[in-house]
Chain A
C-alpha cells in the first residue's frame, strides 16, 4: 500500500473549560486507503464527531497530526466534502442553488458545475426538484441535497457526521442503500460517523470502534461482505455475526 489517504497519528484533543480540562480524545491512530468506506462507531458523546471535524479541518487538534493526501490538515481542505447531522440548507435558496453553494464559496466558476449539479440531483432522485425550495422537501430528500452539495466540487474525501440519525428507520435504510450506490459510482474515500451498528456493518469496508470518552480506537473490524450490497444482506448470518461481534465490543 502506498501513502494512506487519511492518516491520523497520536491524535489528542482536550477542551479547556473554566476550571477544568476535558479530555475528549485520548489517542487515536487511523490509516485509511484511497476509496475505502470507513465507519467510526461509538456511543453518543464519545468524541467521534470531534474526530471527524478535526479531519475536516473544522476543529483544531491539541496534539498529534492529521494528514489528508500526505498534507497536514489545519483548515478545511478544498478536496473534502462534509455532510452534517442536519441538512442545513439555506431556506432562501432553491435546491439547485443550495447544491452550488460550495462552488461560490470556493471561488470556482458556477457555469462549469451546473451540469454536474443536475447530474447529482438526478443520481439522488431529485431531478424534478432543482427549482424547489428546501421547505418543500422531506427530511430525507433534504439530506440527499446535502450529499449532492458535499459532492459538487468533486472532492475525493467525503466526511459524514451521523447524516441519517434524524431520519426514520425506513428512510434511513433507503438512504444507506442510496449512499452505497453513489459510493460505487464515484469511489470516494468516506469517513462515516454513526452510533448505529447495523448501519456501520451495512456500509463499511472497515469499522473503527471508539471507546467512551476519553476516546481511543478500541478495535478495527474488517467487514468482509460481498459488494454491491443490498438490504437483503442484513438477513444473512454473516451480517448478524458482525453486528453481534460489534455489539459485544461496544458493551465492554
Chain B
C-alpha cells in the first residue's frame, strides 16, 4: 500500500497529509463544541482543550511514565523482530522443521495472548520481564508469518538463474530471498509495532507498577478523566511515531516497485 503510487510530487504528498489533518481538526472542533453545548461533565468527557491543558500541567508525570512504556515496548518489539525473523527464516530453510513446527505456531496464535498476562506475573513477577515478554508474544506472530511468506514468494526462476551462475544456498538467501522478503518483513514490522504497544499497555494494566498503562488505570481509579485522556493522547502519539519511523525506514530500504517481483 505504501508503495502504490510511484511518482509522488510534493503536491500529492501535501494533499495526502492535508486531507486527514483537516478532518482531524474538524473533529476536534466538533468535539469541543458538542461537549460545551451539551454540558457534558468533565468526568465523562473532557474537551480537547482541557486535555491539552492537563497534558501541559502534568507533563513531567506523563514523561516519567512514557519512558518505561516506550523502552519496554521497544525491547519486546526488538525481541519479536529478532526471534520472529529468525524463526521465519528457519521455517523457509528447513521444510521438515516447518511441517512440524508451523501448525503449533498457528495453534498458539489462536490463544488470546492478553490472557497470558496473569500467568506471566506468576512466572516472571511484576517487573519489566513480564511486560516485555507479553509484548514479545503478541508482536512475534506477524514477524514469523511475514518473513516466511516473503521468502517463499521468491520467483523460483530467479533462484534457478542464481544457481546457473553457481550461487550457493547462502548467496541465494542473502542476494535474492532476503531482499525479496523485505517488503513482507516491513508489513510484519508495521503490524508488530502496533501489537507490541498493545502488549505493553495490557501488561502495565495488570502489573500496575509504572508506565502509561498504569497511569491510565490510576487516573481511572481517581475518576481523573482529563489525566486519563492525556495519558491516552501521549500513548497515541508514541504509537504513531513508532509506526511512522518504520514507514520512513521502509521508504529508505524498499526503493523498488513492489508489484514488479510478484508476477
Contact of A105 with B255 in the complex, beta carbons under 8 Å: no
A106 to B171, CA, bound (A): 10
Which of A80, A81, A91 has the most chain B CB within a 10 Å cutoff?
A91
Total contacts A to B, CB within 8 angstroms? 60
User: A residues 74-88 with Cβ under 8 Å of B?
Assistant: 75-76, 78, 80-82, 84-86, 88
Contact of B160 with A105 in the complex, beta carbons under 8 Å: no
Residue B108 is within 8 A (CB to CB) of chain A in the complex? no
Closest residue of chain B to A59 (Cβ to Cβ) is B160
- Neighbour of B175 across the interface among A75, A86, A101, A134, CB < 8 A: A101
Residue A135 is within 8 A (CB to CB) of chain B in the complex? yes
Residue A174 is within 8 A (CB to CB) of chain B in the complex? no
User: A residues 88-105 with Cβ under 8 Å of B?
Assistant: 88, 90-92, 101-102, 104-105
Nearest-neighbour CB distance to chain A for B183, whole angstroms, equals: 10
Closest residue of chain B to A80 (Cβ to Cβ) is B164
With A91-B261, A105-B175 in contact, is A76–B164 under 8 Å at CB? Answer: yes
- The residues of B that contact A134 with a CB separation of less than 8 Å are 260
- The residues of A that contact B260 with a CB separation of less than 8 Å are 91, 134-135
Interface SS of chain A: helix, strand, loop or mixed?
loop
Closest residue of chain A to B176 (Cβ to Cβ) is A90
Instruction: Give a binary string over A106-130; 1 marks a CB under 8 Å from any B CB, 0 the rest.
Output: 1000000000000000000000000
Contact of A91 with B256 in the complex, beta carbons under 8 Å: yes
A94 to B260, CA, bound (A): 14
Residue B25 is within 8 A (CB to CB) of chain A in the complex? no
User: B residues 226-263 with Cβ under 8 Å of A?
Assistant: 254-257, 260-261
A45 to B163, CA, bound (A): 23
A91 to B160, CA, bound (A): 16
Contact of B158 with A90 in the complex, beta carbons under 8 Å: yes
A153 to B166, CA, bound (A): 12
> Residues on B close to A: CB < 8 A?
155, 157-158, 160-168, 171, 175-176, 179, 182, 254-257, 260-261
> Residues on A close to B: CB < 8 A?
56, 58, 75-76, 78, 80-82, 84-86, 88, 90-92, 101-102, 104-106, 133-135, 153
List, sorted by A's number, 14 A–B pairs whose CB atoms are closer than 8 Å.
Answer: A58-B164, A76-B164, A78-B166, A80-B164, A84-B161, A91-B257, A92-B179, A92-B255, A101-B165, A105-B162, A105-B175, A106-B165, A106-B166, A135-B256
